[in-house]
A and B are shown apart, each in its own frame.
Chain A
C-alpha cells in the first residue's frame, strides 16, 4: 500500500484505505475519521493557512482540536476556551454525483458508487468545516436528488448519500443542464462520475458550468478492472446500463481495449485542462487521500486566485 501512495501521503492516511472505509457504516463518522485524520497528519502543512478572522470564543468540548485552545484566556479565567474564526471565503460547495448504472460496478469490495459516496461525504464534511455552504446533486439521465447549498445541510447531504443507489442509464448533458439552471450562485462544483461518454460530449455537458463561473473539479472514478481489463475466459459481456450482451474473447481484445481507454482518459484530461477544469482520475482500489489533496490544491489555487 505504501508504494502506491501519492507523494502527498503522510502519517494517518491509512484511515483512507477504501477497504477500511467500507467497514464504517456511518457516513458522518467516516467523513470525520477521514478528514480529521487527514488533517492531523498534515498539522504542519501550509495548506491550513486560510485567512480567517476571529469570531468568538466558546467553551472547549472534548474532541476539539487542542491547538485552537486560547491559552491566554485560560491564564485569565482558568477555563479552556476555543477560538472560533470566520472563514473569509464562505463559498458554495456542491457535489454533483453520477448515479448511472455503470457506477454500481465493482471488482472488489467497493463499487465505484461507494467510493464516490465516501469521497463526496469527505469533501462535503471538509468543506463544511471550512464553513462553506454545502450542497449535493445526484443524477443519472436526470436529476435524482437535489440538496441546495447551505451551512446546515451537512446532515441532509450525508443522509442522502447514504441511501443513493445506482441502477438507471446515465447521461451528462441533460442533467448537467438542469443543474446549471438550479445552481445560480457561483461556487465550487465537484463532479464525480465515470464519464462513459465521448470526451467532446463530456466537455460540452460540463462547459456551461464553467461558463457560469463555477469552479469545477472533476473526479473520474474508475475500477481497476476497467483500467487493466484482466479477464481471461471468453465470456458474454453485459452492459450494466443498456443490458446489451456481446461475446468477448478478452485475450484478443485486451490490448485494443487498454489503448482505447488510455486514449479516452488522455482526451478527457486534455479537454478539461484546456477549459480550466481540474481533473483527477481516481482508482477505486487506491486511498482517498489523493482526492483530498487534489481538492486542497484546488482550493489553494482558488484562494490565491481570489
Chain B
C-alpha cells in the first residue's frame, strides 16, 4: 500500500513554502509620505531595517511553511494505492453483477438468507479494482446498487433485502445485467445469478446476450427436494338474492403439491378481518379439494375477505384475499309493439328476469313511443320488433350520446324511422327467408368482442345449434362493426358507436318466430351479455395479482377494481390520494391530469383514500400472489447458464484496461478523501500560527518587523 497522488503536478506548488521567507526578507516597511515645503530644517533619520535581515521566530515560520505544504498536498489529491498490481495480474478488474432472486418462493427454508450470505461472500472477495452491482428481481428487476467498489454500500443494500410477493422472471434481471456490463469500462464481466431456479421463470426466449468477456455464474439456492406445499388456488364468489338481500357462498379450491401421505388442513374464512368460519379438509399428496363455506350476507361495500390455510413452508400462497361489494341492478327497458296477439318479448323478458343476483331491473313498454320518463334510470334499451316514431328515435339519440346502449331487434314489424337512420350501423333491407335445408346458422362470431368474449372458451356456450329461418337484409355502413354473421355471410349483429354510447342491430327476432335461438341454452347468457354490454357494466375483479398496476385516475379501471363509491377512494378531482400497502408503506399519488399508477407489489390489502381522511368503508384492493411461483419445479442452473453464454476475449492490455485502472485510482482517492483532512490540518495550523504571532507581536510591540514573516 503506497502513498500516491492523483494530480502530482500540483506538488510543484510546494515551492510556495519559500514565499513567506522571501517576503519577510525583501519586504520594505510601509510608511506614509508627507509632502513638506522644504526639508532644510529636517535632519535625516535612517530606519533600523537591518533587524529584518534575520529570522527571529523559526517556529512561526515552520508553522506557515508546513501549512502551505499541507495545502499543496491536498490539491495533489493523495491516496493510499491498495491495488499493488494484484488485480491486473489476475486478468484485470471485473465488473460484477449480482442478480438476487427475491420472489416469494425464496422464503422457503430461509433461502433468502442463504442468498444474502452468498452475495456477501461475493462482495467480500472483490478485488481493489473490481466494481459490483446488486440487482434484485422477481417479476421485474431493481438495480439496488450500481457499479461501485464501495463494499459498505453493497453490504448495506443486502441488509435491507426482503422477500417480495412476485413470481420469478429471469429475463428482466439478465437484461439489466447485460446493460450494466455493456456500459462498463472494465475488461471482464461476471454475472452471479442467485436463485432457487424455478422453471416457470425461464421461457428460453428471453433474448439475453452478455457482452464478450462476460460470464454467467449460477449459484443455486436451496435444495432440489420439493417441499409439501398447500395453497389456496382459487376462490369463487357466486351471488344470490335472497329476500332482497345479496348473499355470497364462497368456495375455495385447495391444492396440495408434494407430500407423502394424506393430511388434514384447516381452512378458515375471514370477513373484514374477523374469522367467521373454519372447515377441515383432507388432502392426499398432489391433490385438490373444493371447500365450500356457509353463505354470508353482503351488505357493506368493499367488504374484505380472506381464505386462509395453516402455515407451511411457503406461506405466501396459503391465503387468498378478495374484496366484494353489493351489486346494483342494471335498468333495462324492453319496448315492443302494442298491436298483435303475440308477445315478441316473452323470451327476452324471461331471460332477463332469470338472475340469482337480480342484476337487471327490467321494465316493459308496449308502444311505438318512448317517453322521456321511460329512460330515467335506464342503462340499456331493447327495441324489439317495433317501428318507433321520429321523436322517440331522437330521444334515444340523446340517450345513446350520453352513454346509454340500444339494441334494435328486427322482426316482422320492426324498423327504424328514416329521420334517425344515421343512428343505425347500416341500412335495413327486405326480409330474407332461409328455408333451404334446416335454415341458417351463425357462421362468424367476434369472440374478442365483449358480448361474445365469455363464449370464447370450450364448453362456454354453443351458438351453432340455433337455426335462423328469416332475417332482414342489412348493409353495414363504413363506420359500423359487424360482430356476428350468418353462415351465408350476411350480417346478424352489427354495432355503431354514437357519442359515448352504442347501438346494436340484430337482424332477426329475439323470439322464437324467425329463429330458435330463444330455445337454446346459450340464449340466456347471450341476452345477459347484451344487456350488460349495452348498459356499460364492467365486471368487478375481487382481487388482483401481485405485479399488476391500477390506474386510479381511470374510472373504468376503478370500476374493474371494485370501486362502488368514489368518495371512499377520495377520488374528488384536484385532491391527492394515498395508498396504504399491506406492509404498512405509504404510496402518495399526487393530484393531476395524468394517470395515477398504483403498482400492486405486495400481497394483501391496499387501502386507498385521501390523505388525512378515515372513511368508514375505504376503497380496498385485494392482491394475491401469482400462483405460478407455487410450482417449485426447478430448471438446471448450468443449462440456463449455457443458453446465455457470452463470447470470451483475451486481455491485451488495451487502452480500455488502462482507462479502467485510472478510474479505479480515482475511485480509491474519492473513497479515502485524504485531501479533506489535509485541508483541515492546514486550517488548524494557520489558526495556531495567527494566535501565536499575535501574541508575539503584542509582546514585542514597538519592535516593528520582529516577527519571522
Contacts and interface: CB of A to CB of B under 8 A. Distances in A.
A244 B39 contact: yes
Contacts of A264: 41
A171 to B, nearest CB: 12
Interface in B60-92: none
Contact of A253 (B32, B40, B45, B47): B45
B37 A237 contact: no
Contacts of A234: 31
Given A247-B46, A249-B45, A252-B45, A239 B34 contact: no
Interface in A242-289: 242, 244-249, 252-253, 256-257, 260-261, 264
Interface in A212-263: 223, 226, 231, 233-242, 244-249, 252-253, 256-257, 260-261
B38 A253 contact: no
B41 A236 contact: no
A243 to B, nearest CB: 10
B30 to A, nearest CB: 10
Contact of B37 (A102, A245, A247, A260): A102
Interface in B38-59: 38-47
A237 B42 contact: yes
A226 B42 contact: no
Nearest to B43: A253
Contact of A240 (B32, B35, B41, B42): B35
B45 A247 contact: yes
Interface in A106-145: 112
A194 B40 CA distance: 13
A257 B39 CA distance: 10
B33 interface: yes
Interface in A60-114: 101-103, 105, 112
B38 A239 contact: yes
B323 to A, nearest CB: 93
Contacts of A112: 37
A149 B675 CA distance: 85
B35 A238 contact: yes
A237 B43 CA distance: 10
Nearest to A257: B41
Contacts of A253: 42-43, 45
A261 B35 CA distance: 18
A247 B36 CA distance: 12
A237 B39 contact: yes
Interface residues of B, number: 17
A194 B37 contact: yes
A236 B34 contact: yes
A238 B46 contact: no
B35 to A, nearest CB: 5
B45 A105 contact: no
Interface residues of A, number: 33
A3 B452 CA distance: 126
Contacts of B40: 196
Contacts of A103: 37
A243 B40 CA distance: 13
Contact of B39 (A105, A223, A231, A239): A239
A235 B31 contact: yes
B36 A240 contact: yes
Contacts of B31: 234-236, 247
Contacts of B35: 105, 237-238, 240
A165 to B, nearest CB: 15
A189 B473 CA distance: 144
A241 B39 CA distance: 9
A241 to B, nearest CB: 7
A235 B32 contact: yes
Contacts of A231: 34
Contact of A257 (B33, B34, B42, B44): B42
A245 B33 contact: yes
Contact of A236 (B33, B37, B43): B33
Contacts of B41: 257, 260-261, 264
Contacts of A238: 33-36
Contacts of B45: 246-249, 252-253
Nearest to A258: B41
Contacts of B38: 102, 194, 196, 239-241
Given A247-B31, A261-B41, A264-B41, A237 B36 contact: yes
Contacts of B44: 246-248
Contacts of B33: 235-238, 245
A245 B35 CA distance: 9
Contacts of A239: 36-39
A203 B40 CA distance: 18
Nearest to B37: A102
Contacts of B43: 253, 256
A241 B35 CA distance: 10
Nearest to A264: B41
Contacts of B39: 237, 239, 242, 244, 246
Name the residue in A236, A256, A261, A264 with the highest tally of chain B Cβ atoms < 10 Å from its Cβ.
Answer: A236
Nearest to A246: B44
Contacts of A261: 41
A183 to B, nearest CB: 27
A91 B47 CA distance: 57
Contacts of A223: 37
Contacts of B32: 233, 235-236
Q: Shortest 9 CB-CB distances between A and B: which pairs?
A: A102-B37, A196-B38, A105-B37, A235-B32, A246-B44, A239-B39, A260-B41, A236-B33, A235-B34
28 contacts: A102-B37, A102-B38, A105-B36, A194-B37, A196-B38, A196-B40, A235-B31, A235-B33, A236-B32, A237-B42, A239-B36, A239-B38, A240-B37, A240-B38, A242-B39, A245-B33, A246-B39, A246-B42, A247-B31, A247-B46, A248-B42, A248-B44, A248-B45, A252-B45, A253-B42, A257-B41, A260-B41, A264-B41
Interface of A: 101-103, 105, 112, 194, 196, 223, 226, 231, 233-242, 244-249, 252-253, 256-257, 260-261, 264
